[in-house]
Structure formats: C-alpha cells, structure tokens
Chains A and B, each alone.
Chain A
Amino acid sequence: MTAIVEHSEFSLPGVRCAACIAKIEQGLAHVPGVRSARVNLTAKRIAIDHDAGLDVPALRSALDALGFAAEPVIAQSGDLAHRRESRQLLKGLGVAGFASMNIMLLSVSVWSGADGATRQLFHWLSAMIAMPTVAYAGQPFFRSAWSALRHGRTNMDVPISIGVLLATALSLFETITGGAHAYFDGAVSLIFFLLAGRYLDSAMRDRARDGAGALMRAMAPGGMVLLPDGRAEWRSAEDIAPGMALLVSAGERFAADGRVEEGSSAIDRSLISGESRPEPVDAGSAVIAGSLNLTGPVTVRVTATGRDTTIAGMARLMEAAGQGRSRYVRIADRAARYYAPAVHTLAAASFVGWMIAGAGWHASLLIAVAVLIVTCPCALGLAVPVAQVVASGALMRRGLLVKDGSALERLAEADRVCFDKTGTLTLGRPEVVSIEALNPAECSAALALARASNHPLSRSLARTLAENGSRAADAKDIREIAGKGVEGHVGGRLARLGRPEWVGTAAAADDMLCCAFLIDGGAPRLLRFADRLRPDAEEAVARIARLGMEPVILSGDRREAVAAIAGQVHAPAMVGMTPDQKVETINRLTRAGHHVLMVGDGLNDGPALAAGHVSIAPSSASDVGQNAADIVFLGDSLLPVPIAVVAARRTMRIVRQNFALAIGYNILAVPLALLGMVTPLIAAIAMSTSSIIVVANALRLARCTR
C-alpha cells in the first residue's frame, strides 16, 4: 500500500496539562497509520500526520477512546493570514530590537565624546544597520500609511512613516557630509517600541480568532451516507446533498437537517433551543444539523444542507446582530484621529517658522524631524495594548478568557445586564435532587445501570451516586433500549432505569425532569432532576446591581420555570422569548442609549450575545455561545462576571492615565524641540522614558481582579 501522508487537525477542549499531552501523544503513537501527533496546549489543538487510509472518524474515535472529545478543525484561510501577520510583526520586532540595541551602543559612544574619524565610522556603521532595518521592520507602518493616504485619510501611521523616513534620510545626509548628529537611533527605536505595541495588539486579536468558525464546527463535519448499493461511506458535510440517506449512530452529531426514516432515539437539542432535556425522536420526526444523537442509531433522509440548515440561518442572524458592534471605534483609533493631524501641523509649523526666521532649509528640516520624533506616538501606541494584555492576563488567572482587547473597553461602558436563565444563571445540566429515595442496595444497582448509558440524566445520576460513595453492583446483560431506558440483571433480578411509564410508574408533574428506577420485587422509585442555580449567582447579581448596572433576565423558558430563579436572584424577568425577541429587547435598550452586557450560553443566545454591546458566556456554553461572546469564564461560579466588570473599569482608568502620561510627557518635550534644542540624546530619553512609564503604569493592573 502506498501511504500518502495526510494532515488533520482537531480541537481538543479537554487538554489541560502535561499528563493529558503525554496520554494523547503516546496513545496515538500506538494507533496504526498515525505518523506523528503533536498537541498545542495554548490553542487546545492537535495536529496529526497520518496515512491516507486513516479517515477523520477513525482518528476521532481513537481520541475518544483516550478520553478526549475532539472536533475536527477545518483550517480557514483568513485564520492563517492573520497568524502570518502576527508572525511578521514578531520578526520585525526581533530585527528592530537587534538594530536599536546596537545603534544605541554606537550612539552612546558618539554622545560621550567620540570625534573625528571614530564618529564618522560609528555613523556609517549605524547607517548600515539602520537602513535595512527600516526597510524591513518599518513595512507594517509604511503600508498602512500608504493605504490611508491613497484613500485621502490620515492615521497614526502617517506621522510615524514620515518621521522615520525623514529621520533616516537626513541622518544619511549628515553621515555623508560628515555632520555632527545622526538620528538613526531615534528612527530605529521608534520602530521597535511601536512594533511592540502593534504585536501585543495583534496577539490579543489572534486569541479572539481562535474561536472563529466554531459554528461550522458545531455542525458535524460529515457523516456516513448510505449509498444506493447498500454500502455506507463517510462524506464530508459539503458533499452531502438533500435526498441522501444518512446513518447517524449514537453519540454523533447530525450533519444536515432531515427527517428520521428508521430507528428511534433521543436527541440533545440544547445547542439550538437551550433546553437541556433530551427529546425523543422516531420515524417522521424532524432533526436539525448540529444536534446530538444520544441513545440509538437512526437513518435520516436529508432535507437541507449547508447554508439552508436551521443552524446556518442562526449564524446569519448572529452576523447581522454583530454588525452593530463592528462599528465600534476603538479608543486608540479615536485618539489617533485627533493626534495625527495635530502632530503634522506642529511639525509643518516649526519648519515654516524656522525658515521664516532664516535658519536655512537644513536646520529647519532637522528641527521639524525632531518635533515629529519627540511627539512620536510610541507611548500612545503602547498605552492601550499593554494595559489590555496585563489586565486580560490577570483575568485569565481568575478563570476569565478575554478574547478581544476592545471587549474590556466595551465592558467598562456597559450599564445594563441581560442574563439568560438556562445554563447561565443555572448550571444548565440536570442534577438529581431526590437521591435519598434509594436505599444502598438500589444505589449500587442504579449506578451499574446509569454508568452504561450516555443519556444526560444517567450521566448525572452516575456522577452523583459515585460522589456519594456508592459502588456499582455486579450487573449482567445490560442493554439500552432507545427512547426508553437501560435494563439489566442485578443479583438475578431484573432492574430497570428509564422513563417512568416504561418502568411502571406515573411521572409526577410532566414539566419535571425525572426518571424511574425499579428492581424486580421492590417498589418503583421516582428520581427527580432539577437544573440548579449556579453557586454565587445571588451574590454575583447583587454585586452587579451595586456596580450600577440594572440586571434583567431574558429567558426562552416558561413563566413558572423562570419565576423561582428570578425571585432567588432578585431580578425582573422576561419569559418565553425567541432568539429574535431577545435581540429586539437588547436593540431597544441600545436605542434608549444604554450599553448592554449580555450574559448567556447556547446557540439560541448567539444572536443576543452578538447584539449586546459586550457579552460574556460560561465555558459550559456551546461552541457557538463561546464564539459569539467576548469573554468566556471557566468554572461553575457566576462571580467572574462582576469581577470582569470591575477589572474592565480599572483597565479603562489606567488606559486614560496612560494617554495623559504619554501626551503630557510629549508636551514637555515639544517646546524644547520647537526651540531646536533637542539633541538625539534628549529625543531618545523622552521617547523611552514615556514608554517605560506607560508600561510600568499598566503593570499595576496585574492586581486588578482583587
């Protein structure tokens, strides 16, 4: 067999530590056909090189067998382009750092009195280092400035480019004519500091983009298609067409919308409806792409694929809702809008002024360049990204992932909070509440049955029983009956766990999540499940209210289900809302001049999360929810939400201070520059001091989550 090596990538949300990496990489090494596997812990991904004979489902089940849920990642061209951009900036940063260090060393020798031939030599050396550096590392600024000028606009990169190019050209002229001062150090270290800010900013945005395309990932990448000749073949989602028959086994996601033809099962539609209760399906029921088939294999006749599916419609709704946010102007851009023209005017004025005063074009130009360099926005360029990176680092240690730096700016402005109920205020997973109904013997029998099933209620029951110290009984002939439950023989007696009617008892109230358990000869036991409030939810909502943000609950659930929760957290609630209505409510608040923070999970909250001024999702949320949200918090507690609000407000305070410091420092140096008293030494000191002060000030944010 000629083995062609193929490359596949999977996202592995469960990877946490060295032990996970070792388990996965060493485990996959034993899978025949796998050439190499490498886990990327930062991106929570794995890259596998494998023989062509090994397909995506096989790799996925191999990862599953190792205990890690994996989703195939389809590489996106946009993703790669941005990553390349970050890498380009980092390369430029390396070059500029090397050059500025060496030129600075040479310059210090000149300042401290090197003269004559030595100074000439040093200037020439500086020129030789600086020219290629400017040409290479300055590109991001030149390109951005050029595109702005071509469209008749100006931005922060225009004065930077002019300053760097003029300074380099003049210094070269000085060097050739044997002049006393060269500005190479200024030009190069200007590029270095600015690239540092630019890189931090881009690294922040990369992290935001890692979640992109999650919606498409939520739709299965493909499925087993039943061919007319009776064979089954794995096809990727785009090759599936309406009319095909799809074989979907338990634990697999539907790759397309369709109608069940054969078999019965329960499906988890929580991705679409936010409802955690599994829904029984059998022949004739409609199923939606992205929902999870829980208990039994079914054959589905495909009705809609790709962009026609319900989930794709939801994605369009989300995109439309996100439009409003993309119009948001970042604080640095707003500052640049005023700063750039002011700097140009000042430099031009000083040139004209000195010409009129009769200083000659050479001296006048030198002073104008000095003004451009001294007023250089390098501290300004660092002010925002440094503060945001430090703050998001501190938040990360508290279990909050900030996906986009501008999220902190927007969060600081928020004055209203909308909460989703299921999965946000509550845990979103059923927890058994009446375990005391079982005696110890029943507990161990129930554990044995519950462990055998993948049904959410079984999993929850098994977890609770195991936590309470039950040991699984020795059960034989365990089998799962799709849509009904699990049965098996414990100690020679038949035991059943499943739907109350099937076990032989009546369900209490039909809106309760419940299942029943029975050992032959014993009394049937009804087990109730409930979706519990998140720990600290009351405290978190109260704290948010104290921060001056009015909380409100937007829920798709029925009134009775929401009322209890609303009472517990002391917040008004709006019930029975569709995704569109949630978006409309948020838009109404926005039109009334409020900035809304949306806290939610689930695909049904996706559009609302995108519509909010800023949004937070729990890590238990669906991929889509996490993707639509700006901030994701880990763990069960709801306290990270008020912590994030406080941290965001502190960050904005620091950013404003940074602007004041950067501009203030430059204002001190500008008069000196205008008077023509700025030597390269003063320019270098002014520039680096203001940058260092700004960075030091931002470092105070390391404790912003206390």
Chain B
Amino acid sequence: MSGIGLLIPIALLLGLSGLAAFMWSLSTGQFDDLEGAGERILINDDPEVQERR
C-alpha cells in the first residue's frame, strides 16, 4: 500500500508534466509549421562556414 501511495502521485505528476509540456509547445506555436520543422534541420545556420565554401 505504501508503494502505491508513492508511485501513483509520481505517475500522475509525470503525466501532468507531459501535458504541461504539450500545452506549452502548442501555445508557443511549435505545431504551426510541421513541414518546415522537418526541413529546417538541413539548414546550415553557421554563416561563416557557408561563406568560406
């Protein structure tokens, strides 16, 4: 019983933090451009390296 008393709050807290993370990412617009997010990893965002080439 003491195991349950410890584990259930932990499980719920973990779930809630996941939910909070989802809400946060939704409200900061991270789901607005799913295609773009996938493409952006290909961008070389170090301008110096690009110029040297």
Interface flags for A411-429 (1: CB within 8 Å of B; 0: not) read: 0000000000000000000
Which residue of B is nearest A114, CB measured?
Answer: B4
Contact check, B26 vs A42: say whether CB atoms are below 8 A apart.
no
Interface flags for B1-34 (1: CB within 8 Å of A; 0: not) read: 1001000100110011011001100100001111
Which residue of A is nearest B25, CB measured?
Answer: A94
Q: Does A125 make an interface contact (CB < 8 A)?
A: yes
Q: Does A509 make an interface contact (CB < 8 A)?
A: no
Q: Does B49 make an interface contact (CB < 8 A)?
A: no
Q: Which of A16-24, A272-280, A489-497, A539-547 contacts B (4 or more CB under 8 A)?
A: A16-24
Contact check, A41 vs B22: say whether CB atoms are below 8 A apart.
no
Collect the chain B residues with CB atoms within 8 Å of residue A22's CB.
43-45
Q: Does A553 make an interface contact (CB < 8 A)?
A: no
Contact check, B15 vs A87: say whether CB atoms are below 8 A apart.
no
Of B15, B26, B45, most buried by chain A (CB within 10 Å of CB) is: B15
Q: Does A102 make an interface contact (CB < 8 A)?
A: yes
Collect the chain B residues with CB atoms within 8 Å of residue A42's CB.
32-36
Output the least CB separation between B3 and chain A (Å).
Answer: 12
Collect the chain B residues with CB atoms within 8 Å of residue A40's CB.
32-33, 36
Output the least CB separation between B32 and chain A (Å).
Answer: 6
Which interface class (under 10, 10 to 19, 20 to 34, 35 or more) fits A? Answer: 20 to 34
Q: Choose among A41, A94, A101, A125 the residue that contacts B39 (Cβ–Cβ < 8 A).
A: A41
Interface flags for A83-102 (1: CB within 8 Å of B; 0: not) read: 00001001100110010011
Contact check, B4 vs A118: say whether CB atoms are below 8 A apart.
yes
Contact check, B15 vs A102: say whether CB atoms are below 8 A apart.
yes
Collect the chain A residues with CB atoms within 8 Å of residue B42's CB.
17-19
* Interface SS majority for chain B: helix
Contact check, B26 vs A91: say whether CB atoms are below 8 A apart.
yes
Which residue of B is nearest A106, CB measured?
Answer: B8
Collect the chain A residues with CB atoms within 8 Å of residue B8's CB.
125
Collect the chain A residues with CB atoms within 8 Å of residue B19's CB.
94-95, 98
Q: Does B40 make an interface contact (CB < 8 A)?
A: yes
Provide the bound-state CA to CA distance between A271 and B44, in Å.
39
With contacts A26-B47, A41-B33 taken as known, whether A90 is within 8 angstroms of B26 at the C-beta atoms is yes
Q: Choose among A21, A43, A118 the residue that contacts B43 (Cβ–Cβ < 8 A).
A: A21
Output the least CB separation between A172 and chain B (Å).
Answer: 19
Which residue of A is nearest B19, CB measured?
Answer: A98
Output the least CB separation between B2 and chain A (Å).
Answer: 12
Provide the bound-state CA to CA distance between A43 and B22, in Å.
22
Collect the chain A residues with CB atoms within 8 Å of residue B22's CB.
94
Output the least CB separation between A210 and chain B (Å).
Answer: 12
Provide the bound-state CA to CA distance between A94 and B41, in Å.
26
Of A90, A98, A121, most buried by chain B (CB within 10 Å of CB) is: A98
Collect the chain A residues with CB atoms within 8 Å of residue B15's CB.
98, 101-102
Contact check, A17 vs B32: say whether CB atoms are below 8 A apart.
no
Provide the bound-state CA to CA distance between A32 and B27, in Å.
30
Offer 28 A-B interface pairs, CB within 8 angstroms, sorted by A.
A17-B42, A18-B40, A18-B42, A19-B43, A21-B36, A21-B39, A21-B43, A22-B45, A39-B36, A40-B32, A41-B33, A41-B39, A42-B32, A42-B35, A90-B26, A91-B26, A94-B23, A94-B26, A98-B16, A98-B19, A101-B15, A102-B11, A102-B15, A105-B11, A118-B4, A125-B8, A125-B12, A129-B12
List A residues at the B interface (Cβ < 8 Å): 17-19, 21-22, 26, 39-43, 87, 90-91, 94-95, 98, 101-102, 105, 118, 121, 125, 129
List B residues at the A interface (Cβ < 8 Å): 1, 4, 8, 11-12, 15-16, 18-19, 22-23, 26, 31-36, 39-45, 47
Extra contacts, 7 of them, besides A105-B11, A118-B1, A125-B8 (Cβ < 8 A), are: A22-B44, A26-B47, A39-B33, A41-B33, A91-B23, A94-B22, A94-B26
